[in-house]
Amino acid sequence: MTFTPEPAYQHGQAPRTAILLINLGTPDAPTPKAVGSYLKQFLSDPRVVEIPRAAWLPLLYGIIVPLRSRASAMKYESIWLREAHMTGSPLLVHTERQAHALQLLLNQQGHEVTVACAMRYGNPSIGSVLEALRRQGTERILLLPLYPQYSGTTTATGFDEVFRVLKQWRNQPELRLVKHFHDHPAYIAALHQQVGAYWAQHGTPDFARGDKLILSFHGVPRRTLELGDPYHCECLKTGRLLGEALGLQPGQYQVTFQSRFGKAEWLQPYTAPTLRELGKVGTGRVDVFCPGFPADCLETLEEIAMEGRSEFHVAGGKVFHYIPCLNDSESWIAGLAEIGLQHLQGWPLRLPHPHELEARRTHAQTRGAAA
């Protein structure tokens, strides 16, 4: 087996610790070509689409990608950020801002930990970010996927890609994995704070008159639940804990699932039909929040804030509110730090003093000369 070349070894170099935030991914640009490349990589992952390759890949490359690339590119174009301080895909921009904010907070707390982010599909790739960490002398990495609820279609495939890359390394780092944080108090507190802050600014729904809070999670095929994936149960638990934190009764909020693809049954109830039904019965106000997405993206900004709003209003609904995702809110960055530090326990989080490093180098050189 041929391994990727190792960086030049430096005697006495202090091993570094890193947190790698992993998110799903995004096209490099809102164009049919870029979206097509992204879709090919994403939808060819056997963990994402569990259909025999011989049947699925010809359909994917010959029909789905050509048909969906242009339509999806238009959707990405509608939410692409082009502000002076925020340019690019919202998912990438918000994830990078989360990594930067987490880095600053950990530094302020006295922890010398490198924080980086990578995308499972698209750029920056997991492989390229791991290589950059290796060249910085990183020997301990905490993998922290930004998927609060575990699923084989998201969390597991991110881990798979890390293991695939490290399989090619001669000198591998220590790894720790965060499987999920769907019921972590810091995560629930950040969700509570996000919804509460929005209601403080825009008014609280009148639940006594039938207003509703919809908690929309990304859907997966129902078959995954039957095969043992815990995602559905973890989404329900997140919804219940958030509802309780907000002081709501079960009928005042509802967990739904969005982004269904194909003809197979997915987790129900589906978000879009739920919004249409609420519109048909003349619901005065619907607020939609997406707890499973720590960063705003196509599925929240276009599918919910645009398409969902339209479906609700067309069906007869009155007032629609989309509550933004956690993004880089202060409470969420504090929550990320708490989750990360809990999993880093036992690893040194401060680099040695320069004098200590010099002593190590001198000791190593002396031993080498004696040998």
Q: Residues forming the annotated binding site for Fe(2+)?
A: 218, 299
What tokens does 320 get? 């629609």
> With b meaning 16 or more CB within 10 Å and e meaning fewer, what string describes 84-115?
eeeebbbbbbbbbbbbebbbebbeeeebebbb
Q: How far is CA 185 from the centre of its chain?
A: 18
User: Whole-angstrom Cα distance, residue 282 to residue 1?
Assistant: 65
Q: Are 135 and 4 spatial neighbours (Cβ–Cβ below 8 Å)?
A: no
- d(CA 161, CA 173) in angstroms, rounded, equals 15
How far apart are alpha carbons 260 and 311 in whole angstroms? 16
CA proximity to 256, closest of 217, 211, 210: 217
What single letter denotes the amino acid at residue 29? A
**Sign of the torsion formed by the C-alpha atoms of 331, 185, 112 and 20:** negative
With residues binned 3-state (H G I as helix, E B as strand, rest as coil), the percentages for the chain, rounded to 5, are 50, 20, 35
* CA dist., res. 363 & res. 365, Å (int): 5
Residue numbers belonging to the annotated binding site: 218, 299
Residue found by looking up tokens 């704070």 in the block: 193
Neighbours of 282 (CB within 10 A): 11
Of 118, 100, 131, give the one whose Cα is nearest residue 25: 118
Q: Which residues contact 332 (CB under 8 A, 6 or more apart)?
A: 98, 190, 194, 294, 326
